[in-house]
Structure 1
C-alpha cells in the first residue's frame, strides 16, 4: 500500500512541477506532461523491486523538464540500498553529470530554465535538496536499521546464552541429586533387598519366608524405579517405562494385602479412561495413603473408594483405628505435602483428617 501511495505522490508532485507551480513551466502539451508524470509515478511505485529504474527516469526528467521529484525519491532509496563507498561515489558522480547536462540544456533554452538549472547557486541548492540530502537521509536510516538489527541479534544471542547457562546449571544440579540418591537411597534400598534375601534363605517358618520374599520383591521394584529416576535426572531424554495408572492399582493393593493389611476396593460410577496425569495422581494418592497406614496404623482394615463423577474423579482411603497408640500422622513428613501439591496442580483438592473413631481419612477430588 505504501508503494502505491509513493507512486501516486510522485506522479502528483511531478505534474505540479512541470506545469510551473513548483518549478520551471514546460511548453509541452498537457497530455505529454501527464504521461511523463505518470511514468515517473510508475517508476516510483516499482522502486520496491529496483531503484535504478526510478533513478533513470529521474535523470531524464530532470535534464529534459527540470522535474526533480523522481530524482529525490531515487536518491533516498539509493542511500538505503548502496552499501559500498564506491557505489555511493558512483551515484554522486552520476548526479553531478545529470546536473551538468541539465545546466547545458538550461543554457540552450535560456530564460527561467537557465536561471534555475544553469546558475551556480540555484543548481547547487537544487542538487543539495534533491540529491545529496535524500541520499544522506537514506544512509542514516539504513545505518540506524543496521544498529537496531545488531542490537536485536546481540540481545537474542545473550538470551540464548543465558538459557544455555541455566540449562547447564540445571543439568549439574540434576547430576548432583542423582549422585546423592544413588549413594544414599539406592544403597540403603539395596541393603534392604540383600537382608530380605538372606532372611528368606535362613528363615525356618513359611510365613517369614513369604514376608521376606515380598519385602525383597518390593525392594527390587523400588530399585528399578530409582534407576529410572536417576536415568531421567542424568539424561532428560532417556526413555523410561510408562508411569503407573489406575490399571496398576490392584497390584499396589495386593502388595499391601500381602503385608497383612485388609484392603478393600470399591468402585462407584461408570469407569472410564481418563488423562494419564489424573490416573497417575490417583495412584500416588492411594500409594501414599497405604504407606502411611503401614507406618502409623499397622495391620488395620482399609477401604479404598474410587468414585467416577460427571466432572471429577474422587479417591478416598480410610483406615480403622490402630489397636495400639502410634505416632501421629500429621508429623509423618513430606508425603502428604507432596500429594497436596500434585492434586492442586490439577485443580483439585485434598482433605486429610482423623476420624471420630480414631481412624484416618485421605480424600482427593480431581477434575476429570
Structure 2
C-alpha cells in the first residue's frame, strides 16, 4: 500500500508542479504577481503553458526548463520557470556545472535588467533598476538554489544513514549466524562426547552379550538391543551432521512407510502393539508424515518407560482435512525399573505438532491407561 501511494505521488507531483507554474506564470504576465504584458492573451497562455510543461518534465529533462525559463524571464519578466530551474540546479548540478549555471544566471538577470530599463513605464520601474535586479536575482536565483542544495545535502545524509543502517544490519545478521554456528558446533561436540560415546558402549556390550549369551532368547534380545543402538548411532550421526553444517540439509526422514518397522521394534521388546488404519490412505505432505511418525515414536517411548508391557493400540485415521494419530495403552501399570526421562518429550512433541499447524492432546484415560492424540493438517 505504501509503495503504491509513493508511486502515485511520484506520477502526480510533477504535473501538479507544472500546473502551479502555469498559473503563476499567468499571474505574472497579467500583473497579479509581476509585470503586466501587452501581448495578446493567446500568446501569453502559450508561453505560460510551455513553462508549465517544462517544469513538469524538469526532473527528467532539465535543460529545456532552463532555456524556457531564461527566454520567458528575458522577454516577459516571467519568473516561475526560472525559480524551478534554479531549484533543480541545486539538487542535481555538481560544483563546476553549478558555478557555470550561477554565472550564466547572473548574466541573464543583468541582461534582463538592461532590457527592462529600455522599456518605459511600470516594467522599467520594477525590473530595470539595479536594486530591483539584485532583489529579483536573490529571490529567483539565490533562494531556490540554496533550497535545492539543502535538499540534496539532506538526501545524501539520509542515503548515507540508510547505507550505514543496512551495513549494520548485515553485520548483525552475520554475527548472529556466527554465534549460531558456534553454538551448533558446541552442541554437536557435547552430543558426540556424551551421547554417542554411551550409545557406542551399549552397542558393544550388546554385541558381547549376543556372542556369549547362555541361551537363544538372550542372544535374540541382545541382537535387538544392538540393532536399535546402531540405528540410534546412525540417526545421531545425521543429527550431528545437521548441527555441524552451516547450511543444514536434511537427510531422509522417517515417514508413515517406516511406521511398521517402528512398531516391530516395540513388539520385539515384548509389547503387544496393534495398528489400526481408518479411512482411505492417500499421499500426504512430507511434514505431516514425519510429524505423525514422531508422535507414534514418542508415545511408544513413554509406554516403554512408564507402562511396562501394557498392550498398546496405534490408530492412524485419514480425515478429509487432517491426519489423526492416536496412541493409547490399556494399563497404567508402572514398568519394572521405570526408565528416567528428560521430562521434555511431550513438550517438544507438542511444539513440533503446533509448528505443523496441528494440535496435541495427552493425558490419562478414564478407563485406565494413557493416550496421546494428535491432529495434523494434511489437506
Residue 16 of structure 1, CA deviation: 2.2
Q: Which residue pairs with 2:8 in the alignment?
A: none
The one of 37, 40, 64 equivalent to 1:26 is 37
Q: Is the 8 A contact 1:343 1:350 kept in 2?
A: no
Q: Which residue pairs with 2:112 in the alignment?
A: 102
The one of 125, 147, 151 equivalent to 1:141 is 151
- Residues of 2 paired with 1:325 and 1:291: CA distance? 12
Residue 88 of structure 1, CA deviation: 2.1
- Residues of 1 paired with 2:175 and 2:342: CA distance? 38
Q: Is the 8 A contact 2:296 2:314 kept in 1?
A: yes
Residue 257 of structure 1, CA deviation: 1.4
Q: Which residue pairs with 1:76 in the alignment?
A: 87
Q: Is the 8 A contact 2:117 2:129 kept in 1?
A: no
1:251 aligns with 2:261: yes
Q: Secondary structure at the match of 1:366?
A: strand
Q: Which residue pairs with 1:153 in the alignment?
A: 163
Q: Is the 8 A contact 1:352 1:363 kept in 2?
A: no
Q: Which is further off, 215-224 or 23-32?
A: 23-32
Q: Which is further off, 55-64 or 331-340?
A: 331-340
Q: Is the 8 A contact 1:305 1:317 kept in 2?
A: yes
- Residues of 2 paired with 1:102 and 1:77: CA distance? 21
Matched pairs, number: 366
Residue 355 of structure 1, CA deviation: 5.6
The correspondence of residues 286-301 of structure 1 with structure 2, limited to 5 A, is 286-301=296-311
1:352 aligns with 2:355: no
The one of 303, 324, 344 equivalent to 2:313 is 303
Residue 323 of structure 1, CA deviation: 7.0
1:185 aligns with 2:186: no
Pair 250,43 (structure 1): closer, same or farther in 2 beyond 3 Å:
same
1:39 aligns with 2:50: yes
Q: Secondary structure at the match of 2:70?
A: helix
Q: Which is further off, 291-300 or 254-263?
A: 291-300
- Residues of 2 paired with 1:325 and 1:228: CA distance? 31
Q: Secondary structure at the match of 1:47?
A: coil
Q: Which is further off, 297-306 or 177-186?
A: 297-306
Q: Is the 8 A contact 2:21 2:55 kept in 1?
A: yes
Q: Which residue pairs with 2:4 in the alignment?
A: none
- Residues of 2 paired with 1:130 and 1:322: CA distance? 93
Residue 236 of structure 1, CA deviation: 4.5
Q: Which is further off, 258-267 or 333-342?
A: 333-342
- TM-score (normalizing by structure 2): 0.89
Pair 125,309 (structure 1): closer, same or farther in 2 beyond 3 Å:
same
Pair 243,298 (structure 1): closer, same or farther in 2 beyond 3 Å:
same
1:52 aligns with 2:60: no
- Residues of 2 paired with 1:209 and 1:134: CA distance? 96
RMSD across aligned positions (CA): 2.3
Residue 339 of structure 1, CA deviation: 2.0
Pair 257,243 (structure 1): closer, same or farther in 2 beyond 3 Å:
same
1:214 aligns with 2:227: no
- Residues of 2 paired with 1:219 and 1:77: CA distance? 77
Q: Is the 8 A contact 2:305 2:340 kept in 1?
A: no
Pair 154,324 (structure 1): closer, same or farther in 2 beyond 3 Å:
closer
Structure 1 residues 303-348: Cα deviation after superposition (integer angstroms, max 9, x where no partner):
2122223343332222343777646799772222222332333331
Residue 126 of structure 1, CA deviation: 0.7
- Residues of 2 paired with 1:195 and 1:330: CA distance? 20
Q: Which residue pairs with 1:127 in the alignment?
A: 137
Q: Secondary structure at the match of 1:333?
A: coil
